[in-house]
A and B are shown apart, each in its own frame.
Chain A
Amino acid sequence: MSEGLGLADGAVVVAPILEIRGVAKRFDATQALEDVSLSLHAGEIHALLGENGAGKSTLIKIITGVHQPDSGQILLGGQPVTIRSAAEAQRLGVAAIYQEPLLFPDLNVAENIFISHQDRGAVVGWREMFREADKILAELGMTLDVRKPARGLTLAAQQSVEIAKAISLNVRVLIMDEPTASLSAHEVQELFKLVRDLKRQGVAILFVSHRMEEVFEIADKITVFRDGRLISTRTRLEATPQRAIADMVGREIDLTKARTSCAQKDVVLSVADLGRQGVFEGVSFDLHRGEVLGFAGLIGAGRTDVGLALFGIEPATSGRILLGGKPVTVRTARDGMSLGIAYVSEDRRQLGLVLPMSIFANITLPVLRRYLSRLGLVRTGLERRTADTFRDRLAIRTPSVDLEVAKLSGGNQQKVMLSKWLNTNPSVLILDEPTRGVDVGSKAEVHAIIGQLAAEGIGVIVISSDLPEVLVLSDRVLIMREGRQMAILDRAEANEETVMTAAMGQRSTDSIDGRPS
Chain B
Amino acid sequence: MNWLKRRVRPEQIRELSLLVLILAAIVFFGSFIDNYYSFRTFNRIASSVAIITVVAVGQTLVVLTRNIDLSVGSIVGFTAYFVGTLIASHNGINPILAVAIAIALGAALGVVNGVIVAWGKVPAVVVTLGTLAIYRGVLVDLSGAKTVTTDSLPQWLIDLPLVNVAPIGSLDIRALFMLALVIVVAFQIGTTYLSFARRFYAIGSNPEAAQLIGLPIKSVVFLAFVICGALSGLAGFMLLARFGNITVEAGRGLELSVVAAVVVGGVNVFGGSGTVTGAMLGAVMIGTLEQSLFRLGISEFWLDAVLGLLILLAVASDAVILQRLRQLWGGAELKLLAKETDSVSSEQSASPP
Instruction: List residues of A whose CB falls within 8 A of some B CB.
Output: 65-66, 85-90, 98, 102-107, 109, 111, 115-116, 120-124, 126, 138, 141-154, 156-157, 160, 186-187, 189-190, 278, 298-300, 482, 504-506
Q: Complex: how many Å from CA A151 to CA B195? A: 21
Q: Complex: how many Å from CA A109 to CA B332? A: 8
Partner of A122, one of B195, B213, B214, B336: B195
Q: Complex: how many Å from CA A20 to CA B268? A: 44
Whether A189 contacts B344 in the complex (CB less than 8 A), given A144-B335, A299-B336, A300-B333, comes out as yes
Q: Complex: how many Å from CA A167 to CA B268? A: 32
A299 contact set on B, CB distance < 8 A: 334, 336
Q: CB distance A153 to B272 under 8 Å?
A: no
Q: Which 7 A-B pairs have the closest CB atoms?
A: A87-B214, A86-B214, A102-B209, A148-B332, A152-B331, A157-B334, A106-B272
Q: Complex: how many Å from CA A471 to CA B63? A: 50
Partner of A278, one of B273, B330, B335: B330
Measured CB to CB, the nearest residue on chain B to A111 is B198
Q: CB distance B198 to A107 under 8 Å?
A: yes
Q: What number of A-B contacts does a CB cutoff of 8 Å give? A: 127
CB distance from B278 to the nearest CB of A (A): 14
CB distance from B189 to the nearest CB of A (A): 10
Q: 10 A-B contacts, Cβ less than 8 Å apart? A: A85-B214, A102-B208, A104-B206, A105-B206, A122-B195, A144-B335, A152-B331, A156-B334, A160-B334, A186-B336
Whether A103 contacts B209 in the complex (CB less than 8 A), given A122-B195, A144-B334, comes out as yes
B38 contact set on A, CB distance < 8 A: none
Q: CB distance A104 to B195 under 8 Å?
A: no
A111 contact set on B, CB distance < 8 A: 198
Measured CB to CB, the nearest residue on chain B to A143 is B335
Q: Complex: how many Å from CA A482 to CA B273? A: 32
Q: CB distance A87 to B216 under 8 Å?
A: yes
CB distance from B323 to the nearest CB of A (A): 10
Measured CB to CB, the nearest residue on chain A to B341 is A504
Whether A154 contacts B212 in the complex (CB less than 8 A), given A104-B202, A107-B201, A120-B195, comes out as no
CB distance from B193 to the nearest CB of A (A): 5
B196 contact set on A, CB distance < 8 A: 122
CB distance from B177 to the nearest CB of A (A): 29
Q: Complex: how many Å from CA A504 to CA B338? A: 10
CB distance from A228 to the nearest CB of B (A): 22
Q: Is B151 among interface residues, defined by CB-CB distance under 8 A?
A: no
Categorize the interface residue count of chain B: 35 or more
Measured CB to CB, the nearest residue on chain B to A86 is B214
Partner of A141, one of B201, B206, B330, B337: B337
Q: CB distance A298 to B333 under 8 Å?
A: no
A103 contact set on B, CB distance < 8 A: 206, 209
Whether A124 contacts B195 in the complex (CB less than 8 A), given A87-B216, A300-B334, comes out as yes
**Additional 20 contacts, C-beta under 8 A, given A107-B202, A149-B331, A482-B335:** A87-B216, A89-B214, A102-B213, A103-B209, A104-B205, A105-B272, A111-B198, A115-B198, A124-B198, A138-B340, A141-B337, A142-B337, A143-B337, A150-B331, A150-B332, A156-B334, A157-B332, A186-B341, A278-B330, A299-B334
B155 contact set on A, CB distance < 8 A: none
Q: CB distance A141 to B344 under 8 Å?
A: yes
Q: CB distance B205 to A107 under 8 Å?
A: yes
Whether A144 contacts B198 in the complex (CB less than 8 A), given A102-B212, A105-B206, comes out as no
B335 contact set on A, CB distance < 8 A: 142-144, 300, 482
Q: CB distance B344 to A115 under 8 Å?
A: no
Q: Complex: how many Å from CA A138 to CA B198? A: 25
B216 contact set on A, CB distance < 8 A: 87
B20 contact set on A, CB distance < 8 A: none
CB distance from A78 to the nearest CB of B (A): 24
Q: CB distance A121 to B195 under 8 Å?
A: yes
Which of A104, A121, A143, A154 has its CB near the most chain B CB atoms (within 10 A)? A104
